[in-house]
Amino acid sequence: MPDPARSGRALGPDADGDRPGRRSGARDRSGHGQGRNLFQEQLSVEGSYVWRYDASDLSQRRGEAVTTLGQGWTEPPGTPAVGLAYLAAFKATGRPLFMDMAKATARALLRTQLESGGWQALLEFDPVARAAWCYRADAGTGRPDCEAIEGNKLRNVTNIDDNISQASLTFLIRLDSELRGEWGDLRKAAMFGLEGLLEMQYPNGSWPVRSDFKIPDALTNSAWRARYPAEWSRTYVEPAGEFYITNDHVVRDTIRMFLLAADTYREPAYLATARRAGDFLLAARLPESQPGWAQTYNPDLEPIWGRKFEPPAIAAYETASSIEALLELYAATGERRYLEGIDPPARWLEQSRLPEGDWARFYELETNRPLYFDADYQITHDGGEAPDHYSFRGSFGIPSVLERYRQAADGEVLAGQADVSPVPSDADVEAITGALDDQGRWVEDGLIHSGSFVRNLAALASFAAAEKGVSLPDYIRPVRHKLDF
């Protein structure tokens, strides 16, 4: 059993600022408040965060790209992921410190919400550089009208790739719920963002990865059911025109966000939006004998190339995330068509497991042979020379997804409803608290990782709540798969 000073009271300073658990002048291993204060006071830019920081020079910082001291990052484990961890800590302890941190993080997102409703990966706070962006907060402040801004083609483009806008809205919705709508600007931003993503949805239920306008119905004449292409090129063909994707969990993450919004605000339009996306997934599932999902489709719902290392194929990872989305729709609606739509792809995943116990990312259309790429990005069936920048093989969380499906199919639980934060073991808590350095930081190979901070803070929050006999919502679940970035 961990020392209480390092477990139930391990979530930072008491209200009077004293550090819990300090004994005989020894270094306080429970000093997570110190680590978190450092995180906000020394690492935050206007309430925003990036992915990682050089522990010896905190000015050296980056998200997916290097950032300046006037920039933040939205893609998890950036700004919204940190905000969700702060919110978990507040729910576990009730300490105003954590609510103040969560509010500061929300202000960063309110200041960088685009007029199209969502966010880009990069958040700009430099007063001069901000003028190149169509930030909703800056409208009417002397900045040129959005249409008049030149030199930035992304100036008003909502991005839903990599959980950028979905995670941001998820955090704002969670915080708005906790505050019971009392922060009017926060509620308005959440409503505005949800409306923007609702209007972006294609009539067939899919979404473009990024957009700055409402999608006209006339643009979309999608097939009703996925099919195999008559032929496909073994060399890269850049997708042109309109296309639909499941890659990077775009559909799952957006469904998950709209289900949260529907549950929070009791707005039927949000649930209807999630249902339409579920209909798209059911339509985009390929026929037997490969009833899984591709990453990218043309308007005929035929698999096509995405990027040069993403061929027309059945994708194991995206099949798993599509199953997750259907499970959560089943949990929210009780409609068995979502559950019944999972059985064929679940069986396909079981049958497609490699002898070593994991999965290839891609399986060749109709033959079901694993597909890889060599160092020159030529398709091959040999994974030995695959580039290491992409997950061409792995477990992809598939075993846990299949287990959740089996539970739902057996009637044990409506999968997705048990949105409860996992409680770490005593040994896990000891490891987390013991990993702090003398400055109260989690440092790995000379770097401070936001993902580790989010994971550790949420775990300690769950542990502290459990000590009180309380189950904590799994606030970081929507971003958990991104915490190792």
Task: Give phi and psi for 422, each to the nearest 5.
Answer: -65, 140
> What CA–CA distances, in Å, run from 284 to 162, 194, 280, 302?
20, 24, 6, 9
Q: What is the pTM of this model?
A: 0.92
CA distance 386 to 373: 5
The pLDDT of residue 388: 85
The pLDDT of residue 88: 98
CA 177 to chain centre: 19
Contacts of 38 (CB under 8 A, 6+ apart): 439, 440, 441
Encode pLDDT of 301-354 as tens digits.
999 999 999 999 999 999 999 999 999 999 999 999 999 999 999 999 999 999
Concatenated DSSP letters of 23-74: -TT---TT-HHHHHHHIIIII-BTTB--SEEETTEEEEEESSSB--TTEEE-
Of the candidates 387, 326, 340, 338, the one whose C-alpha atom is nearest the C-alpha of residue 361 is 387
Q: What is the mean pLDDT of residues 404-409?
A: 94
Could you say which DSSP state residue 444 is in?
B
pLDDT above 60 for 269: yes
The pLDDT of residue 28: 36
CA distance 41 to 88: 19
Residue whose token pair is 């550090």:
19
Which tokens sit at 410?
A: 């057996």
pLDDT above 70 for 233: yes
The pLDDT of residue 10: 46
Contacts of 261 (CB under 8 A, 6+ apart): 169, 173, 190, 194, 267, 270
pLDDT above 50 for 176: yes
Which tokens sit at 144?
A: 């040129």
Contact 361, 394 (CB under 8 A): yes
Work out the burial of residue 62: count CB atoms within 10 Å of its CB; fewer than 13 is exposed, 13-18 middle, 19 or more buried. Answer: middle
pLDDT above 60 for 109: yes
CA distance 205 to 296: 14
The pLDDT of residue 221: 65
Residue whose token pair is 């941001």:
168
**Average per-residue pLDDT in the chain?**
90
Domain definitions of the chain by residue range:
4-181+421-482, 202-409
> What CA–CA distances, in Å, run from 399 to 14, 23, 320, 321, 396?
41, 44, 9, 12, 8
How many other β-carbons are positioned within 10 Å of the β-carbon of residue 189?
Answer: 23
**Amino acid present at 135:** Y
CA distance 288 to 281: 15
CA distance 362 to 236: 15
How many other β-carbons are positioned within 10 Å of the β-carbon of residue 180?
Answer: 8
Which tokens sit at 56?
A: 């010896």
Encode pLDDT of 421-439 as tens digits.
999 999 999 999 999 998 8
* The domain over range 202-409 is classified in CATH as 1.50.10.20: yes
Contact 299, 357 (CB under 8 A): no
Encode pLDDT of 205-219 as tens digits.
999 999 876 665 555
> What CA–CA distances, in Å, run from 146 to 151, 154, 155, 213, 379?
12, 11, 8, 13, 43
Could you say which DSSP state residue 22 is in?
-
The pLDDT of residue 485: 79
Encode pLDDT of 115-157 as tens digits.
999 999 999 999 999 999 999 999 989 899 999 999 999 999 9
Contacts of 280 (CB under 8 A, 6+ apart): 202, 204, 205, 206, 244, 251
The pLDDT of residue 411: 86
pLDDT above 70 for 416: no
CA distance 243 to 306: 9
Contact 405, 346 (CB under 8 A): yes
The pLDDT of residue 242: 84
CA distance 207 to 196: 12
CA distance 248 to 121: 14
pLDDT above 70 for 13: no
What Rg do the C-alpha atoms of the chain give, in angstroms? Answer: 23
CA 305 to chain centre: 24
pLDDT band for 21, please (50, 70, 90 cuts).
Answer: very low
Give the angle subtended at the CA of 46 by the CAs of 41 and 52, to the nearest 5°.
Answer: 65
Angle formed by the axes of helices 450-467 and 426-434, nearest 10°: 140
Across 95-115, b (16+ Cβ under 10 Å) vs e yields bebbbebbbbbbbbbbbbbbb
